[in-house]
A and B are shown apart, each in its own frame.
Chain A
Amino acid sequence: MPRANSQQLSGWGRFPALQHSVFTPRTQADLHRFIRNNDNPKTIAFGNGRSYGDSALSECIIDCRKAQNYFIDFDTQQGLLTCQAGVILDEILKVIVPKGWFLPVTPGTRFITLGGAIAADVHGKNHHQAGCFSAYVTDLYLLTSDGTTVRCNQNLETDLFRATCGGMGLTGIILSATIQLKAIASTEINQTTHKTQNLEETFAVFEHNQSSPYSVAWIDCYAKNKSLGRSLVSLGEFSEDGPIALARKKARTMPRWFPSFMLNAWTIQLFNTLYYHRQRQPVKTERVHYERFFYPLDGIQRWNRMYGHKGFIQYQFILPKDTSFEGLQEILKTIADAGQGSFLAVLKLHGKENNNWLSFPLEGYSLALDFKIQDKLFPLLKKLDQLVLTHRGRFYLAKDARVSQEVFERGYPNIDQFRQFRRTHNMHRHFNSAQSLRVGL
């Protein structure tokens, strides 16, 4: 059996970076043997390292890509796909798109594993209509701490399913899953971008366009006063007529030496202003390939290097609808006043909450912000944490690297059920990440 080796690893945000012992099973048998014999309670599965913080970091890490990289079945008539959990969404797209299928839900990067998508119960620009990734998982196999493989889905072992989807790998190792794909007639998206003057208008565009399958907004978080919350809201739907083609554009790579001082308050403000004004007309329609629509950042490999070796925090929270407007106004104002705006600030209206104990989305608005790590950042984030709590919001584990247990647990009313479930099934003695210990899962 391959040995573990010691490595310094971090999530996509490059913060925190911790020393780990990494075990890379070559085969399913290796993995099973390891789980049966492992007695380190600080063990967690690692996929493609795209969660931002410490979700997949722990003393002992199981790198699941090598041993769990097989496609198992693809029913091209029904659009049912079964893969091992280490398969990356990008690989899935390469197989399904030419056959006229697409991911029912996709996050903003296609470089995550299937297992990671389930563990974080990811959402996409269509959450207001389609819900989370788990809604399309028709079957799931989980390797539990005692070494047995358990099948679960929406009708079978439902508690295990609800704990595993969104459960950040804390219930066991996701081995494989079947997902129901979405049929597409074209790989192109009809995109409409609304340029809004302030937060009120931004909200109005979201509310009036709920029938649009995909929606998301980029916010200029340096804008103040009358312009606070001005955005480019992009709406989209798959075109009804062809072509069906994978994109051919080659990704560029962010150089290792990229000087992170290039990203400072001035340049980010400049970027925000230019980006906002790049679009002249109030409403613009165009036809774009799905890659440009869903995965603009995947065009630059290792873009996380942009923030330098200290890394960055992606701060994502969601507020219920009734507090969203007021809350976002306060939060955006606090950020703009602090002069620590974010390069990319993404706003999204979500649909109904699902039944999973730790899934992030609820009906309301979420905001995601990238902040370069610097000393003055943490006091600002602490301030923001309080504002989020005041407005009954919650934080997204897949992005989080720092919130405290007190702050985290107030957002999740079902958290005790999750904790209890872990204890009842002895999972808490086998699977823990740096994050789960920090927020008390």
Chain B
Amino acid sequence: MSSLLILGAKSDIARAVAQQYAANGWDLLLAGRAINELDDLAKDLAIRHDIKVFLHEFDANDFDSHAAFVAKLPELPDGVITAIGYLGDQQQAENDWSETEQIMNQNLLGNVSVLNILANLFAERQSGFIIGISSVAGDRGRQKNYLYGAAKAGFSTYLSGLRNRLYQDKVHVLTVKPGFVNTQMTADMDLPQKLTAEPEQVAKAIYKAQQKNKNVLYSKGIWAWIMRIIRAIPEWQFKKMDL
């Protein structure tokens, strides 16, 4: 049976991804901080889909622990998805280095640190896939969330390079760029309904894209078009805008 490692398993998208892969018969390794909070979910997945689910403590910020974390996994999974991310508070971060650092660590460095290790192991094995959940915010810097955006842009670029490198090793890399998603992270925002996806929709799209070895996935699909337009706005114009 195939197995999937989910990093940052407590996020809403990650939970939906877990349901999606479990429904397709995958065993799951769920990793995150205070992971025992996922006991109920793990039991649910195991009963519902007759699969095996393991929980692993994982701290994205503690880079030094990542090698030991990977070594302690019961087996090297067939694939990994990372849903580790932190929206942060842009305004606070402009004046507070620790908030900025948090945004950079969670969205970029933590992911890079653990994926570096897994990428090498997958390459050695000559199989596997890596799914990174980045964001449309990384497609262009905006005054409202450029710190988050910069970290995500870095992560998107990292994934793109990784995909290029691992192509020879038969390891596939999928970059997911969700637009608005109705999750805990966005619970306090007023989101336009037509542009907002449910976590389950995103999870379904991810599964399909991974199975088809797609490279970049926008979810909802309309975001690919929106971002194409936003990227096309010339910088001299963009800098004056308030998007």
Say if A and B assemble together: yes
Q: Spell out A's residues near B (CB within 8 Å).
A: 1-3, 26, 69-74, 91, 94-95, 98
Binding site for A on B (CB under 8 A): 12, 40-41, 43-44, 47-48, 50, 184, 187
A72 touches B43 (CB 8 A): yes
Please determine whether B43 and A70 come into contact, CB atoms closer than 8 angstroms.
Answer: yes
Contact of B48 among A2, A3, A26, A91 (CB under 8 A): A91
Considering the chains assembled together, what is the distance between the CA atoms of A187 and B160 in angstroms?
Answer: 50
Set of chain B residues within 8 Å of A2, measured between Cβ atoms: 187
Q: Which residue of B lies closest to A71 (CB)?
A: B47
- Closest 6 A/B residue pairs (Cβ): A70-B44, A71-B47, A71-B44, A74-B47, A2-B187, A70-B40
Check if B48 sits within 8 Å of A72, measured CB to CB.
no
Chain A contacts of B50 at CB under 8 A?
95, 98
> Is there an interface contact between A70 and B184, defined as CB atoms closer than 8 Å?
no
A35 to B164 CA separation, bound complex (whole angstroms): 52
Q: Which of A1, A26, A71, A72 has the most chain B CB atoms inside 10 A of its CB?
A: A71
Question: Is B40's CB under 8 angstroms from A95's CB?
Answer: no
Q: Is the CB of A71 within 8 A of B48?
A: yes
Question: Is A95 a contact of B48 with CB atoms below 8 Å?
Answer: yes
Query: How far apart sit A398 and B243, CA to CA, in the bound complex (Å)?
Result: 49
Which residues of the partner chain B approach A1 to less than 8 Å between Cβ atoms? 187
Provide the bound-state CA to CA distance between A70 and B48, in Å.
Answer: 9
Q: What residues on A are CB-neighbors of B187 within 8 Å?
A: 1-3, 26
Query: Smallest CB-CB separation from B40: which chain A residue?
Result: A70
B44 CB contacts on chain A under 8 angstroms = 69-72
A143, B76: Cα distance in complex, Å: 42
Establish whether residues A73 and B43, one from each chain, have CB atoms under 8 Å apart when the complex forms: yes
Q: Residues of B contacting A72 with CB < 8 Å? A: 40, 43-44, 47
**Nearest CB of chain B from residue A75's CB, rounded to whole Å:** 10
Chain A residue nearest to B44 (CB atoms) is A70
Instruction: Please report the C-alpha to C-alpha distance between residue A95 and residue B47 in the assembled complex, in whole angstroms.
Output: 7
> Which residue of chain A has the shortest Cβ distance to B184 in the bound complex?
A26
Nearest CB to that of A26 among chain B residues?
B184
Instruction: Write out the residue numbers on chain A whose beta carbons fall within 8 Å of the beta carbon of B47.
Output: 71-74, 95
Kindly list chain A residues whose C-beta atoms are within 8 Å of the C-beta of B48.
71, 91, 94-95
B235 to nearest A CB, angstroms?
A: 37
28 A-B pairs in the complex with CB atoms less than 8 angstroms apart: A1-B187, A2-B187, A3-B187, A26-B12, A26-B184, A26-B187, A69-B44, A70-B40, A70-B41, A70-B43, A70-B44, A71-B43, A71-B44, A71-B47, A71-B48, A72-B40, A72-B43, A72-B44, A72-B47, A73-B43, A73-B47, A74-B47, A91-B48, A94-B48, A95-B47, A95-B48, A95-B50, A98-B50
A74 and B44 alpha carbons, distance in the complex (Å): 10
Residues on A with C-beta less than 8 A from B12 are 26
Q: Chain A: which residue is nearest B45 at the CB level?
A: A71
Q: Which residue of A lies closest to B19 (CB)?
A: A69
Q: Point out the residues of chain B lying under 8 angstroms from A94, CB to CB.
A: 48
Q: Which residue of A lies closest to B37 (CB)?
A: A27
Q: CA–CA, A131 to B151, complex, Å?
A: 61
Residues of the B chain whose Cβ atoms lie less than 8 Å from the Cβ of A71: 43-44, 47-48
Bound: A70/B19 CA distance, A: 11
Additional pairs, 16, CB under 8 Å, beyond known A26-B184, A71-B48, A72-B47: A1-B187, A3-B187, A26-B12, A69-B44, A70-B40, A70-B41, A70-B43, A71-B44, A71-B47, A72-B43, A72-B44, A73-B43, A73-B47, A91-B48, A95-B47, A98-B50
What is the CB-to-nearest-CB distance from A83 to chain B, in angstroms, rounded to a whole number?
A: 9
Name the residue on A nearest B47 (C-beta). A71
A298 shortest CB reach to chain B, Å: 20
C-alpha spacing A95/B187, complex, angstroms: 32
> In the complex, what distance in Å separates the CA atom of A71 from the CA atom of B46?
9
B190 to A: closest C-beta gap in Å:
10
Nearest chain B CB to A27 CB, angstrom units: 9
Closest to A74 in B: B47
Whole-angstrom distance between the alpha carbons of A74 and B48 in the complex?
9
- Separation in Å of the A310 CB from the closest CB of chain B? 26
Which residues of B lie under 8 Å from residue A3 when comparing CB positions?
187
Contacts of A70 in B (CB 8 A): 40-41, 43-44
Q: In whole angstroms, what is the CA distance A98 to B50 when docked?
A: 10
Nearest-neighbour CB distance to chain A for B36, whole angstroms, equals 15
- Report the minimum CB–CB distance from A66 to chain B (whole Å): 10
How far is the CB of A181 from the nearest CB of chain B, in Å? 13
Shortest B192–chain A CB gap in Å is 14
Query: A73–B44 Cα gap in the complex (Å)?
Result: 8
Question: What's the least CB distance linking B194 to chain A, in Å?
Answer: 16
Whole-angstrom CA separation of A72 from B40 in the bound complex: 7
Residue of B nearest to A99 (CB): B50
Shortest C-beta distance, A88 to chain B (Å), equals 12
Chain A residues whose C-beta falls within 8 Å of the C-beta of B40 in the assembled complex: 70, 72
User: Nearest chain B CB to A134's CB is how many angstroms away?
Assistant: 23
Report the separation of the CA atoms of residues A94 and B48 in the bound assembly, to the nearest whole angstrom: 8
A26 to B199, CA, bound (A): 12
Give A86 Cβ to nearest chain B Cβ, in Å.
12
Q: How far is the CB of B237 from chain A (nearest CB, A)?
A: 36
**Residue among A3, A70, A72, A73 having the largest count of chain B Cβ atoms under 10 Å:** A70
Interface centre among B12, B48, B184 (most CB of A within 10 A): B48
A272 to B25, CA, bound (A): 45
Residues of the B chain whose Cβ atoms lie less than 8 Å from the Cβ of A74:
47
The chain B residue sitting closest to A81, CB to CB, is B47
- Smallest CB separation, B37 vs chain A (Å): 10
Q: Give every chain A residue within 8 A of B43 (Cβ-Cβ).
A: 70-73
For B190, the closest partner residue in chain A by CB is: A3
Q: In the bound complex, how far is the Cα of B184 from the Cα of A91, in angstroms? A: 25
Docked pose: A189 CA to B28 CA in angstroms: 37
Chain B residues, CB < 8 A from A98? 50
